Structure 1
Amino acid sequence: MPDQKPPANVHRCTIKNLPLEHGVLGEITVEGENAAQCIDQIVRLLKRKSRPRKSGRGAPPPTSPTDFLDAAIERYISDLTRRKVGLTYIQLHRQTLGIMLAVIGNKSLASVTGDDVRRTLDSFKFWPKNARRIPAMKELSFAEILDIGKRLTPPPINAETYNNHVRRLNAFFNTQEDADRSFRSPAQGIAKEINTSTAIKSRRPLSASDLEKIFEIEAYSKWSKDKPHRWWGPLLALYTGARVSEIAQLRTTDIHTVDGVSCICIQVTTTGQRLKNGSSIRAIPIAQPLLDANFLTYVDEVRATGQDRLFPHLPLSVTVKDGEAYVNGYGSTLVQQFSRYIKKHGFKKGIGSHVFRHTFATNLTKEKVRAVQIAALTGHTVVGAPSESVSVPGLLSYIDRGMCPPELRACAETLSKFYPGIEIPVYTPGQFAKALSRKSKFHK
């Protein structure tokens, strides 16, 4: 039979495009005297059913594939901020994701395709170097900056820069996938890093003549006068391969001697200390040249002041932006001070304190030391190596009990093969007595 129109006295209610937690309901029509009440009950029931179930773990509601890209990006950046990661880290993620948004437009997550990802990857070459530091570009949108970049002759994009963009894209989409298992990352199989294993590295280790220039006793003593962190920071960086941020945050309780082996424990034991990742937790034997240069004497002098921080004159650097405080760590000041120092001694721009870490690893490699053994000292992760052979946080529990595990002695044997080709300056007991007596200048 053909459809018949309802009688004029029959009530009809229709609702269209009802937004729910996980999507949009197209259309519902109800006829009858109580149509309006029925519609109201149906809407209440659907909304109640679509709410995320409460969990004892307090899990956040899953990301909906119908969410638009700009909202998902803002939520992702907000989560990074909540994790208390560094400001630079957040700004770089915002830049990568902002470029993607400018290239493919604001669309729902579910509609982002592999071709969108490809277009984004191809666009990174048009982003001018340090664009946000150029006064004329500071207030421009991502799209406007890309338009300017497209009118210029783009230089070949640095492989490391490209790979960093790829990592950020993958991290963003993987997070969305973790939040909603019905969503599949459009970057899978597409956003791959460039293999740089055979690329020529621009970073070179310091030569013996470079080190002699840095540690020339007269200039070095003058630069580090009344500032213990300047004296010991570069020396520790040279002989441990540790990051300056790890050295700057050390406490006297991180220095141990067990069974005749003195070591520095890289760990987090209090507020303000931070590590890059799990592999960063490690124990580094103190090289004999540092012991001969009276490093432990300095440690005892700091302990005598009642201060726990090994370098109490270094402040905890914090950046405040848009009402949020971002902790930079204790190392920022020392990095800046050392950078200015070596520039005055003729070193080119781009060479800083991190070059000690590169020098340390390169010299050990020349001595035929395996990557896994070097990583145990530097806190790197070796791809394809058993995790327990690299990450050795278990050493710390032995050290806390006053025991020296065989792994620590193996690390000491590895370290004994490192020789940078110079004799380092020796610390004079009491050299920083004046600085250590000014407790008002100490930072927590």
Structure 2
Amino acid sequence: MSHLYKRGDVYYYRRRIPSASKRFCVSLKTSNHADASRLASCYDYYFSQIIINRMKFDFKNINFDNISKLEVTIGADGSRTLKTTPEEINATNGDKFSMLLAAFGSGLSVIHSPSQIPSVLPDSSVPAAVPVPVFDDSLPTIDEAIELYRKHRISKKESMAKFDTHFKRLSEICGSMRINQVTYKHAFEIVEKLKQMPWNMRPYFHLSMDDIIDQYDGDKCYTYSNVNNYIDRYNSFFNKFLASVFPDSNIRVSPFSTLRLDEELTPPRMDKVPFEHQDLKVIFRSNRFSMKDFSHNYQYWGPLIALYTGARRAEIAQIMKKDVYMVDDYWCIDINDDDLGKKLKNIGSRRIVPIHQELIDLGFLDFVKSVNGNPDTRIFREIKKSTDKEGFGRPLEEFNRYIRTLAKFEKKYFHSFRGTFSSDLHAEGVDYITRYRLSGRAEQSRTVEEKHYIKLKMKTLHENLHKVSYWQFVQHLKP
């Protein structure tokens, strides 16, 4: 915004007045650019109305004591009414100080001649008539606007689960405010509280953020990426939806626009601690595995596949019969997102990995062959529902609850198999390029050469995979 400038930590609005030797200048009393831009847009509207209507006043015939301020009233339909108080001033011809008069209102009531005007600009001790719009009660509140936005998103056939989660927190702090009253201060408060929200919000969804902060004593909180998802949603709400539906509401910049967090600075969380070998002994000697005491096949085979491949929950849950086949005389699992409902975390997750001989000896191939259906059938047919984020992987979270009935597994989950697999490969001297290929690490972790030119043969992957062995923990499971 060309009329906005910063002096120290505070933003000011200044604008040159035609034929005047000074500029109109007023402090916006904020150090936040988003808030300053929104206030400055109010001043822009005032000046644009004065210019459009070419308001010219007869300076000599105006009694400054009768002028208090100018007001703008915005109706429900977005229409504006511009007026002066306490009485209308009729436009006449030819005075170069009309804009100063319109901008300062009673701030010029002490002036009795044009020569005195430069002495009160821009450092007048008399407060200017700040042109902040006066809104009537028909302007929608944030809650009302959220409901309009919700209907808009439903019309586009989008899932409302995340929508409701995100906007519940905005409504909690700002729900009763008018749509133009949300400032940087309110936005900052929301973001600071979101940073303290627990990773798993389901047990706390019905509580307010303050209550959640009081009750939650864990250290597994939202990452900066999670918080940015909220901020992006709010920016879209303010910048795109409200600005288009209410074009004259002075919403030009979202109050959340400068609050995105640097995701690389997310505080480290130790929530993916690998299983120790002693943990594996406890898990695989439990009744679920040793006595085959399970209700669904994924409860038994899911952890074993994760142990020998380091695959993620969703990758395991979406394996189809056709994804298990031979490559260069080695049995492999093709991890892909080629079919409906399949999800991968990143492009590096797409891979073909060899199957460890120990997993084959435990009867994995026989299990795959025993699954009824065509090649497009998932081997865990009992998992019916796919989610937008995790594909079919959600049911495997049941494993996390199960192992806590066996022992105190602090900060260890299904995902910990992935850490165990990578750690053991590293301990056996397997280079990181091979480890990345086997476990499907993110592409940004690799160089251009590693991404595009180094192609590992299946034989190499197979040999490196077999450098690790978990037979001592699972041999009693052999049929």
Aligned ranges 1:214-293 → 2 under 5 Å: 214-216=283-285, 220-224=289-293, 227-293=296-362
The alignment status of 1:211 with 2:311, answered yes or no, reads: no
Q: Distance in 2 between matches of 1:406 and 1:219?
A: 37
Q: CA deviation at 1:242?
A: 1.2
Indicate yes or no: 2:224 matched with 1:163. Answer: yes
8 Å contact kept, 2:335–2:349? yes
Whether the 8 Å contact between 2:184 and 2:255 is mirrored in structure 1 is: yes
291-300 or 228-237: bigger deviation? 291-300
| Structure 1: 4+ residue segments shifted above 6 A | 80-86, 108-111, 125-132, 178-182
Aligned-partner Cα distance in 2 for 1:109–1:388: 51
1:302 equivalent to 2:355? Answer no
TM-score (norm 1): 0.59
Aligned residue among 402, 405, 415 for 1:354: 415
| Separation in 2, partners of 1:331, 1:153 | 29
Q: Give the structure with higher Rg (CA).
A: 2
Q: Distance in 2 between matches of 1:99 and 1:385?
A: 38
Aligned residues: 346
Shift of residue 264, structure 1, vs aligned partner: 1.1
Distance (Å, rounded) in 1 between the aligned partners of 2:431 and 2:311: 18
Q: Does 1:424 align with 2:478?
A: no
Partner-residue secondary structure (3-state), 1:263: strand
* Residue 42 of structure 1: aligned partner: none
What code does the residue aligned with 1:345 have? L
Deviation string for 1:265-303 (max 9, x for gaps)?
122344443334444332222223223434333333437
Contact 2:321/2:368 (<8 A) preserved: yes
**Aligned in 2, Cα 1:257/1:315: closer, same or farther, shift over 3 Å?**
same
Q: Distance in 2 between matches of 1:250 and 1:382?
A: 22
Structure 1 residue 99 corresponds to structure 2 residue 169: yes
Identity of aligned residues (%): 24
Query: Structure 2 residue aligned with 1:115, among 173, 185, 200?
Result: 185
- Equivalent residue for 2:397? 335
Q: Report matched runs for 1:17-56 at 5 Å.
A: 24-27=78-81
Q: Distance in 2 between matches of 1:83 and 1:278?
A: 27
1:222, CA displacement in angstroms?
A: 1.7
CA positional deviation for 1:414: 4.7
CA distance in 1, matches of 2:406, 2:302: 18
What's the Cα RMSD here?
Answer: 4.9
Instruction: Indicate if the aligned counterparts of 1:223 and 1:230 stay in contact, CA closer than 8 A.
Output: no
TM-score by length of 2: 0.55
SS in structure 1 at match of 2:334? strand
- Cα displacement (A) at 1:316: 0.7
For residues 132-174 of structure 1, give each alpha carbon's deviation from its aligned partner in whole angstroms, at most 9, with x where no partner exists.
Answer: 736xx94x6x4xx63x568x5985x847425254222333145
Structure 2: which 5+ residue stretches go unaligned? 1-55, 59-72, 83-138, 245-250
SS of equivalent residue, structure 1 residue 362: helix
1:335 Cα deviation after fit: 3.2
Alpha-carbon distance, 1:218 to partner: 6.5
Measured after TM superposition, the shift of residue 334 of structure 1 is: 4.0
* Greater RCO, CA 8 A, separation 6+: 1
- The residue type paired with residue 285 of structure 1 is P
Alignment partner of 1:119: what SS? helix
- State the 1:221 CA deviation: 3.5
Paired AA for residue 286 in structure 1: I
